Amino acid sequence: MKKLLEETKTIMKKYGIKANKDLGQNFLINEEVVENIINSSEISKEDLIIEIGPGLGTLTKELLKKAGKVVCIELDKKMIKILKDRFITSSNLEILNEDVLQVDLNELIKKHKGNDNIKKAKIVANLPYYITTPIIMKLLEDKLDIESITVMIQKEVADRLIEIPGGKNTGAITYTIYYYCESEKIMEVPNNSFIPEPDVTSEVIKMKLRNKPAVEIENPKVMFMIIKSAFMQRRKTLLNALTNTQVFASKQEGLKILKKLNLDENVRAENLSIQDYANIAKEIL
Ligand code: SAM
């Protein structure tokens, strides 16, 4: 851990950097974690890597050695200057000073795919934790032409994202991830792997995009609306939650649907498989 810690401190001192908490700046100083993120991303020279929030460039430095092309998206202008200075000789790096939530990633991938022998796109990042969920939802809902997403995020969120629907950490977002991806835990990361130390434990996870979604459904938006409604009142039975949120026109109607789908009337939101939710969506459409 020492060498990276020294390097990070030196860069911060040289540029007068104080980590900006509002931008979720916790800089990685653990070499083992860097190595794990890079190895689990399975990067080749045919890959375009989009790195979100490169910060001082700790991951960027390793990504540049392995990838055909690296595009970094960083909101903080101070980091842009550092990245430009550090990687001035790297011809396979593009740096964008933007808010990742505002970037047209489809356009960006289209621009690079096919050039310089680039065949696949992957996302790699130590994400700013204050916007973990919006970033991941954007990556999935924009239906990007990407192969995988390897990210470090807070452990509590990670456990929900990689859960199989029905498991103890299931939340509404579990179904979204499962619909689009096969996901796995890479490693848990202790707080002292960063400066400054974050308040929460972190975890690296990898989400591989499925060739086709986990269930067949004509209108997935309706299914996700039902899931969201069910989890808004997750302590209630599914029947009550979906009646209260007017997904079911009435309790009687709901009972009829649950019976038809062989679901117990006392079942709760987290007990259903994604196929069960797809079936409910088909019934109410
Ligand atoms: N990759 C570096 C590392 O591992 O040490 C820094 C990771 S730090 C957790 C998150 C980075 O995301 C910071 O550099 C921060 O400035 C940047 N960031 C925050 N909000 C952003 C946004 N909306 N768009 C792009 N980058 C953002």
Both 50 and 182 in one domain: the answer is: yes
Predicted structure pTM score: 0.95
Q: Please count the other Cβ atoms lying within 10 Å of the Cβ belonging to residue 13.
A: 9
- Measured from the Cα of 128, ligand 1's closest atom is 10
- Measured CA to CA in angstroms, residue 79 lies from 26, 35, 64, 75, 85 at distances of 13, 22, 17, 8, 10
Domain closes at, from 190, 209, 228? 209
CA angle 157, 163, 168 (to 5 degrees): 90
Both 171 and 93 in one domain: the answer is: yes
Strand partners of residue 150: 124, 206
Both 280 and 241 in one domain: the answer is: yes
Probe residue for ligand 1, chosen from 31, 33, 126, 129 as the CB with the greatest number of ligand atoms within 8 Å: 126
- Number of domains forming the structure of the chain: 2
Residue with CA nearest ligand 1 atom 10:
128
Query: In this structure, which amino acid lies at residue 198?
Result: P
- Measuring from each residue's beta carbon to the nearest atom of ligand 1, which residues come in under 6 Å? 23-28, 52-56, 58-59, 73-76, 79, 99-101, 126, 128, 131
Residue-by-residue pLDDT tens, the chain, 285 positions? 589 999 999 999 999 999 999 999 999 999 999 999 999 999 999 999 999 999 999 999 999 999 999 999 999 999 999 999 999 999 999 999 999 999 999 999 999 998 889 999 999 999 999 999 999 999 999 999 999 999 999 999 999 999 999 898 999 999 999 999 999 999 999 999 999 999 999 999 999 999 999 999 999 999 999 999 999 988 899 999 999 999 999 999 999 999 999 999 999 999 999 999 999 999 998
Both 174 and 252 in one domain: the answer is: no
Both 43 and 179 in one domain: the answer is: yes
Residue 215 lies in a domain: no
Domain range spanning residue 91? 2-209
Both 187 and 229 in one domain: the answer is: no
CA–CA dist 11, 28 (Å, integer): 13
Domain closes at, from 176, 209, 242? 209
Both 247 and 139 in one domain: the answer is: no
Probe residue for ligand 1, chosen from 32, 36, 61, 75 as the CB with the greatest number of ligand atoms within 8 Å: 75
